[in-house]
Copies of this chain bind each other. A is one copy, B any other.
Amino acid sequence: MSTATSPINAESAIRERIDSWVAAALAKDLDTLMTHYAPDVVAFDAIGALQFKGLDAYREHWAKCFELCPGTMKFTLHEVQIQVGDDIAFSHALSHCGGTNDQGEEQACWMRGTTAYRRRAGEWLIVHEHFSAPFDMQSGKVLFDLEP
């Protein structure tokens, strides 16, 4: 097995991709953020629509998300688990997300994220991602107060 394809190297590569993806999201750097995605990404985001297909649709959605969070964003991942194969990998994590609302108050909640990657021409790209918060069956409301 060459070092280029060893599971340990692949896991390090995915970990780096996660770190740079989080950094780009926190910086609201849309161009850098979008370099992490494959052209044919299919994304299930937490808000607004069932799915976003392709880079253009998902970029537009991310731009709207940044507009919804005008202040400083908080976004930290916890309990990150990564599983890698030869050219396929996935990760999942709990995320603690927050920001400042229009009254200047800090708000935060816990959510969940799952990300799937493929290695194409040596580069790991996100081909699928899924973000959500769980809800209460009776009220149909999101459970923003849950803690891990």
Residues of chain A having any CB pair with chain B under 8 Å: 42, 44-51, 68, 81, 83-90, 92, 94, 110, 112, 114, 116, 118, 127-128, 130-137, 140-144, 146-148
Stoichiometry, copies per complex: 2
A134 near B50: Cβ-Cβ < 8 Å: yes
Contacts of A51 in B (CB 8 A): 94, 112, 148
Q: Can you give 13 A-B contacts (C-beta < 8 A)?
A: A44-B132, A47-B134, A48-B137, A49-B134, A50-B148, A81-B128, A88-B88, A90-B116, A112-B132, A114-B116, A132-B132, A140-B142, A141-B141
Q: Determine if B50 and A116 form an interchain contact, defined as CB atoms under 8 angstroms apart.
A: no
* Chain B residues, Cβ within 8 Å of A146: 49-50
* Complex alpha-carbon distance, A45 and B143, angstroms: 12
> CB-CB < 8 A to A94: which residues of B?
50-51
CA distance in complex: A47, B136 (Å): 6
Q: With A88-B89, A135-B135, A140-B141 given, is the CB distance from A114 to B68 under 8 Å?
A: no
Chain B residues, CB < 8 A from A137: 47-48, 68
Contact of A112 among B50, B134, B147 (CB under 8 A): B50
Which B residues touch A83, using CB under 8 A?
Answer: 88, 116, 118, 127
A80 to chain B, nearest CB (A): 11
Closest to A49 in B: B134
Closest to A112 in B: B44
Tell me how far the C-beta of A5 lies from the nearest C-beta in chain B, rounded to whole angstroms: 11
